[in-house]
Structure 1
């Protein structure tokens, strides 16, 4: 399988919209989604693309920050791999690539959120060495 991982340039960030729209919990109207993604691209954010040949088949957002309990870290966001490419070892390669990429940037810690009902993702992340440290609470304003 001819796979390539690479950071999507901010100038091309809107290529992730079709994959973001496939995320189960995403019900954001497309114009709002585009506006938000363009804004994200100007912040402490990178988006990693997974390419099969030249086709974008997966994405993972990377948010960089410094936390008092972890130092410099990265939060993985909107991890998505096209369903036709799931269960082929790509997720493990993705996590390994990210760990190497962010270590070079000085990160000490990777974290992420996953939906409570997404049990297959929980098993996957445990198998990749992640541990559950708490709950993620939200309050819409």
Structure 2
């Protein structure tokens, strides 16, 4: 990457609001108000939001949880990972995954997990190159 990225956790409503335009690239169904409300709700349940800045502009976001399951033990689960469409393939996503991996290890996690929509072929290629494997199928039933 030609420029440096600054990574930090987002914890105030004002910081969350500044992240909404970029998250809308991944979650276009959420209005700004819905996004802020949902992040605040999820933060009360353990959700954390990592922000990447490049040259003073938000260039990447990663929403994640630390959890524990019978199947995986203690793990970090990535709910949301987005790099600004104008910054893709410039190392932002790799830096964010690297930060998440170090954070997960520091929290005693044995694994990192994420789901990716079946249509996101470029994201799948990125995750495979980053050392992830396709370990399962995720099934959904809308109620």
Select 1:105's aligned residue among 104, 107, 114. 107
1:139 alignment counterpart: 141
5+ unaligned residues in a row in structure 2: which ranges?
none
Q: Report if the CA contact (8 A) 2:59-2:92 is conserved.
A: no
Distance in 2 between residues matched to 1:136 and 1:27, nearest whole Å: 21
5+ unaligned residues in a row in structure 1: which ranges?
none
Select 1:13's aligned residue among 12, 16, 25. 16
Deviation at 1:100, TM superposition (A): 0.6
Select 2:76's aligned residue among 69, 74, 77. 74
RMSD: 1.6
1:40 alignment counterpart: 42
Alignment of 1:52-67 (within 5 A): 52-67=54-69
Cα pair distance change 1:28/1:9, threshold 3 Å:
closer
> Structure 1 length as normaliser, TM-score?
0.90
Select 2:89's aligned residue among 87, 90, 111. 87
